[in-house]
Structure 1
């Protein structure tokens, strides 16, 4: 087989050299490295908005999905000088790492050149990595909870947010669940944000006890319930960003949608092959996510009321 020549991608002011563009990353569909790069260019405004100024862990597949998966915290070697980073500290290891910090679409394209499929940003930005500006509500269904139940729980969560005067921005997870993101004022540390997230999860559980669990140990959860995973707000916990392709055979995408679409959205239909047309027609449903930064005071009062640990 003749090896394909590298492709030069013009990405704004940058030129990114994509080697092995014909390497198959998704064998079930024959989608290649170039297909993956073109996907990210097609949703460029959205993916940059989701990643901008955040420390970002990369899920890399140097040989495609059929090969080894690499969880990359440190910026891969060989980055051009215009690719920016942010230093983060990992107390467990007593070490620091310079992680990718996307400020432009060229950095996303370069990460794809380095075999990145998934982008997993922190919920804080480099101006102060210890103060999150994003609260993440992760609706994680247990094995016997169908997607209709996830939709139902998302509706309950939205009701609580509405009562709080908070705007939540939903997206598919790229798997079987849903995420709701909320911009918050970067005034609290990870522990306080996690505590507020637990208070919110408990309120959703109170309103839908037949559908929701906040039980920590998986073995103790009802398999029909949806777990509201408050711990996704803990320090150094990351989940796939909005518009990130997932490293699964069907190349599903963690796709933003509007609340009016909740009853119709089908996560399995949202892939790197289908989402670009959706983005071109609809734009980014999260385009206004940075317009308002909400406060957590009421949720922290709920946490005090419920006696939740600090």
Structure 2
């Protein structure tokens, strides 16, 4: 077993760089019926093969690194702060989190930095929907179609085509990719004019419109107990500090599946489980990158935001934020509907003591 390899790659401005890869024979993905085991060296070879299109989605963005200790069957963790030992040629950008806390986050502009993150046991890359020069105004709408148990991938494809029409009607140009799992990610480039909360509201407007058009297939219900077998339109992927796996990124799942951009025509035929670290370099060579030029002509988000405003007129308001997000004005109660006791919550979704508890506390 080799102790280390030196990988030749390109840094910023195509300057040659070397990246040291320790333990290249270390297994990251164990062998499955679909393919042989994938080592750390295999992963870097894969990244080298897809670097050009993958960097189109990573470059100039803050990136969260999903890393493992002991391969995908070991400990999994996320690096938001740059890992120790960042190469001197790499750069960072300051980001602000929902808590108000700020710190630098790694930006992956070049193939050498990408390979270095693999050396640091990264297996999935999660770029923010913002550029490093303006980390508060997203330049992408991102929606995750998350199937519930009982739904097939063909059902998700049907929902994705419905979402495509909603986005088009709102004046946006949608792009689609597999997730590397059971769902589909739909993106649309936008001009970075609105802040995260406003973009999230526009996405809620889109999600509710899709739900109206396909009520038996999709849902915006945040609580799983209310979804049934419908596909969840995950509006919270538009929340600050929420990210999706990058295009061309492997996933921490058996068999090393990859999140692959496809055309809308290819979506009808593709079998996601067949798109893996083993097979995707050949797929890319044969089909090219379906997302080339995605940001050449970004759309305006006004039409999507108008859907949100129309829903406000209908009496529909805020939806739940992720549980680690600060409580927001107008947010529904953060309690499962089946466990909610009406008198414990005010009209703004804030928990209050019932009268009996208040009287007891006064007596004490």
Tell me whether the two structures share a fold, i.e. TM-score over 0.5.
yes
**Aligned ranges 1:184-203 → 2 under 5 Å:** 184-203=190-209
Counterpart residue number, 1:179: 185
Q: How many residues are matched?
A: 306
**Residue 102 (str. 1) matches residue 102 (str. 2):** no
Counterpart residue number, 1:207: 213
| Contact persistence 1:195–1:309 (CA under 8 A) | no
Counterpart residue number, 1:265: 270
Counterpart residue number, 2:124: 118
TM-score (norm 2): 0.82
TM-score (norm 1): 0.95
Deviations 1:264-301, CA, capped at 9 Å, x for gaps? 11110110000001111222111111111111111111
Following the alignment from structure 2 to structure 1, what is the Cα–Cα distance between the partners of residues 307 and 184? 24
Displacement of 1:91: 4.3
Q: Which of the two has higher C-alpha Rg?
A: 2
**Of the candidates 2, 5, 10, which is equivalent to residue 3 of structure 2?**
5
Structure 1 runs of 4+ with >4 Å offset: none
Counterpart residue number, 2:149: 143
SS of corresponding position for 2:123: strand
Counterpart residue number, 1:27: 30
Following the alignment from structure 1 to structure 2, what is the Cα–Cα distance between the partners of residues 79 and 32? 22
List gaps (5 residues or longer) in structure 1: none
Counterpart residue number, 1:43: 50
Following the alignment from structure 1 to structure 2, what is the Cα–Cα distance between the partners of residues 297 and 309? 18
Following the alignment from structure 1 to structure 2, what is the Cα–Cα distance between the partners of residues 282 and 100? 30
Counterpart residue number, 1:221: 227
**Residue 251 (str. 1) matches residue 249 (str. 2):** no
**Residue 231 (str. 1) matches residue 236 (str. 2):** yes
**Residue 162 (str. 1) matches residue 160 (str. 2):** no
Following the alignment from structure 2 to structure 1, what is the Cα–Cα distance between the partners of residues 143 and 96? 25
Taking CA–CA contacts closer than 8 Å with sequence separation of 6 or more, which of the two structures ends up with the larger relative contact order?
A: 1
Following the alignment from structure 2 to structure 1, what is the Cα–Cα distance between the partners of residues 307 and 188? 18
With 10-19 and 123-132 compared, the bigger mean Cα shift is at 10-19
| Contact persistence 1:62–1:114 (CA under 8 A) | no
SS of corresponding position for 2:262: coil
**CA-atom RMSD, angstroms?**
1.3
**Residue 82 (str. 1) matches residue 89 (str. 2):** yes
Following the alignment from structure 1 to structure 2, what is the Cα–Cα distance between the partners of residues 136 and 147? 19
**Of the candidates 277, 298, 305, which is equivalent to residue 300 of structure 1?**
305
Deviations 1:155-198, CA, capped at 9 Å, x for gaps? 11112223334211100011100001111000000011111001
